[in-house]
Amino acid sequence: MNTTPHPRSTRDRPAKPPLSRDAVVDAALALLKSEGLDAVTMRRVAAALDTGPASLYVYVAGREGLLQAIQDRIIATIELEEPDRLRWRGQLHTLLDRMYRALVAHPGIAATTMTEPPSMDATLHLLENILGLLLAGGLEPQDAAWAADIFALLVSYAAMEADARRTNPREQADELYQRFTSLSPETFPLVTAYATQLVAGDSEERFHVAIDMVVDGMIARATRR
């Protein structure tokens, strides 16, 4: 047997499981869930996989591509609704609420969904489902198509607000209320008078009201034709 005592290569491959796209995304997702978006750096992900950051570029198109893969993973966990003409509105709320919760369970990811055109599989399935619900409700196709964008936006925003609240629980609304009520009533008669309304509702409540406003608006538009 040849037992030459030469230095062990730092690229000792058989000692580590081979990387894969799934492994990379899994590691990133775990970091996201436990430490939030800022922890999802190429170095941190690579360290979690016992490798170096340059190794990841085979599997993901940079950090941007990694974040997209994570988003799609998260969206893929959302249970869809079978459109029902009689219940579509409640179903829409349910579906968007699930999306909201999926985002909130991953601190910080909501902000990365904001400008993503729907192009990956899970996101497209979600879009298809939203369209299905809106059309089941008899809404105009053009309005439905545009509203899908708006609903996605509302979800992302609500999740971002929930993220901000997590960092600063309860303190934010209080500070804001203080700010509003300490303004000059001469200069800001409405803001001071309606300070309570301006800070009312948690992000979920505001979120569901926002959905309703958009839906009610679409119904009014459809009724008008």
Partner DNA sequence: GAGCTGGACGTACGCTGTTCGTGACGAACA
Partner DNA sequence: TGTTCGTCACGAACAGCGTACGTCCAGCTC
Q: Which residues bind a second copy (CB under 8 A)?
A: 111, 114-115, 117-119, 124-125, 127-128, 131-132, 135, 141-150, 153-154, 157, 160-161, 164, 172, 176, 179, 183, 187-191, 194, 197-198, 200-201, 206, 209-210, 212-221
Q: Which of 2, 3, 4, 10 binds DNA (CB under 7 A)?
A: 10
| Residue 169 to residues 26, 153, 165, 201, Cα–Cα distance (Å) | 29, 23, 5, 14
Closest CA to 66 of 98, 23, 34, 117: 23
Torsion of CA 8, 9, 13, 19, to 10 degrees: 130
Sequence letter at residue 101: R
Given a second copy, DNA, none, residue 22, with its beta carbon under 5 to 8 Å by kind, binds none
Distance in Å, CB of 34 to DNA, minimum: 15
**Identity (one letter) of the amino acid at 75?**
I
Q: CB-based contacts of 216: which residues, under 8 Å, 6+ apart?
A: none
Residue 162: CB minimum distance to DNA, A: 23
Site for DNA in 48-87 (CB under 7 A): 51-55, 57-59, 62-64
Structure tokens, 21: 């796209």
Residue 216 interacts with which of a second copy, DNA, none, CB < 5 to 8 Å by class: a second copy
